[in-house]
Structure 1
Amino acid sequence: MTYTTLDVTVADRVATVTLNRPDVRNAFNETTISELALAFDTLGRDDEVRAIVLAANGPAFCAGADLNWMKKMAGYSHAENTADALALADMLRTIYLCPKPTVAKIQGDCYAGGMGLVAACDIAVAIEEANFCLSEVKLGLIPATISPYVIKAMGENAARRYFLTAERFSAQEAHRIGFLHEVCGINDLGPVVSGIVKALVSNSPNAVKQAKTLVRDMVAQPVTQALLQDTASRIADIRASGEGKEGVASFLEKRKPSWLN
């Protein structure tokens, strides 16, 4: 399989899916979204793969949405915005429902939609220097499509703060609120993730699969198609709103949004 925005390798029953757009801080666009969905679907059905690591090249893990993609979205109709958001929602669900255990290996800053990628994984490990931010409200938007996964990962109380304030917070804080499972030094990231992966592949593949399903089935809110439609509609509505358009425009034009004047 050939990918243009990802590097995908398989060795010793472990697949590594690496975001490979370091020049844009691994911000994703429609191509990245479709390739991530394809990669996790394909690897999830590969009997030779027992675990999947989601990693990234460069200093940042993922900066969220690509600027050129945001520029295109600014001119989308409501129907186009909904379809676009559903593609992102479906990709996140593909990662979340992947039958193989997934580990996010976070070597740098992780913002906005990048936090959705992490939250959709089963286990998340980050370096001490990594920062996190749910920055959507700064642009007049909301983290709608990633919300089912981020809220599950960090909890309602923490989400209430960071969804509303768009504050940047540290890896230590992300660990405290439960978004991360472990924080380590940059030189320890590889060994820590390798240790987790070794534990995963040492267990019964079917038991691991069923245990993952068990956890998902026991939580209160299933990620249903109705939920995806709801979150996609919310982001489509707010993208088309006055503040949504103003927030994106001010960000792209490198000026303060009108509500700060």
Structure 2
Amino acid sequence: MSHQHSTAFLCITYEVSDRIATVTLNRPEKRNALNGAMVKELQQAFLQAAEDEAVKVIVLKGAGEAFCAGADLEYLQQLQQNTFEENLADSRQLMQLMQQIYYHDKIVIAQVEGHAIAGGCGLVTLCDLSYAVPEARLGYTEVKIGFIPALVSVFLVRKTGEGRARELLLTGQLIGAEKARDYGLINEVVPKDSIADHVARVATALCKETAAHSLKVTKQLIGGVLDKPLNEALEQAARLNAATREHAECKRGIQAFLDKEKLVW
């Protein structure tokens, strides 16, 4: 029986169906711009998905024309009045959301059906997989308003390499979806009329064809690989390899492989 439910939020929607949690930025009249309230609700949604055993994959998308146009203008005005301590607390809230998405135990897929700018592009950068429509433009415009893409720079360098990160962050230019794919910022460009089906197929395949424990540990390996010297990273990998061999899902998977049985996870 398919497990379906939704949770009421003000700035986002959260729905679970067939092991896929869909988180939708839902301020279309503001082009899904980020503010403090939305950041907090996203934290709650990603925490809920982490704790829900019925969820295996998370899809992040935006309602209306844009995926996310960055920081809300009223929010930016409010930041001008803040003390350093208030701004630091606010920045740390966003930092925690970014860490939460990047290190999430479940796979997070961005479904980008419109522009993803500044903080909005930051959200895409954090996802494990990302698909965008050809019309989408992506980029980090912070330097154009005298701001800096501080938090996202940490993740973008890891994702695209230093050269691409310098180009995107220092120029503040928006790039098309094709170039974003060529840069390694997104995985694929998919036409608007088929992107929802494409993402659903990818998410469903992950649910049915891969083991949840394997996904979680593989994400830990990838997320931590640049934090350690090579010999430490390899030692951690060897230990995780050994530990996973004892895991019930691994034993089940290897037995099915040996028995030439098709496994549905």
- Specify the TM-score bucket, using the shorter chain as the normaliser: 0.7 to 0.9
- Give 3-state SS (helix, strand or coil) of 1:103's partner: strand
Residue equivalent to 2:192: 186
Residue number among 13, 18, 23 corresponding to 1:17 in the alignment: 23
- The aligned counterpart of 2:254 is none
User: Superposition pairs for residues 59-70 of structure 1, below 5 Å?
Assistant: 59-70=65-76
Q: Distance in 2 between matches of 1:166 and 1:175?
A: 17
Contact 1:155 1:178 in 2 (8 A): no
Per the alignment, in what secondary structure is the counterpart of residue 131 of structure 2?
strand
Quick check: 1:219 aligned with 2:232? no
Q: 2:108 aligns with which of 82, 102, 105?
A: 102
How far residue 205 of structure 1 moved from its aligned partner, in angstroms, is: 1.0
Number of residue pairs matched?
222
Residue 14 of structure 2 contacts residue 24 of structure 2 at CA under 8 Å; is this kept in 1?
yes
* Matched residue type, 2:162: E
Query: Does structure 2 conserve the Cα–Cα contact (< 8 Å) formed by 1:115 and 1:150?
Result: no
2:99 is aligned to 93
- Whether the 8 Å CA contact 2:153–2:169 is kept in 1: the answer is no
DSSP 3-state at the match of 2:135: coil
Q: CA RMSD in A?
A: 1.3
Q: Counterparts of 1:126 and 1:153 in 2: how far apart (Å)?
A: 17
Deviation at 1:2? 2.6
Secondary structure of 1:145's counterpart equals: helix
Match of 2:134 among 108, 114, 128: 128
Which has the higher mean CA deviation after the structures are superposed, 37-46 or 12-21? 37-46
Larger RCO (alpha carbons 8 Å, 6+ apart): 1
Cα shift readout 1:154-176 (whole Å, capped 9, x = no counterpart): 22111101111111110011000
Q: Which runs of 5+ in 1 are unaligned?
A: 223-261
Letter in 2 for 1:45: E
Kindly provide the CA deviation profile for residues 97-116 of structure 1, in whole angstroms up to 9, marking residues without a partner as x.
Answer: 11100100000000000111
Deviates most, 21-30 or 199-208: 199-208
2:125 corresponds to 1:119: yes
Paired with 1:39 and 1:221, the residues of 2 have a C-alpha distance of 30
In structure 2, the residue matched to 1:4 is 10
The alignment's TM-score, normalised by the length of structure 2, stands at 0.81
Structure with higher Rg: it is 2
Percent identity among equivalent residues?
36
TM-score (norm 1): 0.82
- Of residues 39, 51, 56 in structure 1, which corresponds to 2:62? 56
